[in-house]
Amino acid sequence: MRSESGVRRICLADAILEIGVEEESEALTRAVIGLASALTFDVIAEGVELNAHRCFLIEHGCTAGQGFLYSPAIANDSFAELLQQSSDALRIG
């Protein structure tokens, strides 16, 4: 929700794991994404483990997420190294 810094963000978590399994979880996920969109909040999905989760979220307007589909949990030092490698890989020229 809204903090003192003006950050407007909603985090989706537990319902993500049931995408493709339970219609109620999918409906809840779509509703939260729709509500966030109407309020001009960002939506971040936590626990994205399968490509089916990712595709569902993108199809319904959630384009930010984290989870084992992208990377397992890593230590701070490893994260800094991963960011540097990603930054280097994105450079052109």
pLDDT of residue 21: 87
Q: How confident is the model at residue 91 (pLDDT cuts 50, 70, 90)?
A: low
- pLDDT band at 83, cuts 50/70/90? confident
17 vs 73: CA distance, rounded Å = 17
Does the reported pTM lie above 0.75?
Answer: no
Q: Among the listed ranges 1-5, 42-46, 76-80, 83-87, which one has the minimum average pLDDT value?
A: 1-5
Residue whose tokens read 């996920």 = 29
Mind listing the pLDDT tens digit for each residue in 24-36? 999 999 999 999 9
Domain ranges of the chain: 9-90
Which DSSP state fits 79? H
Model confidence over 43-80: pLDDT tens digits? Answer: 999 999 999 999 999 999 998 999 999 888 888 888 88
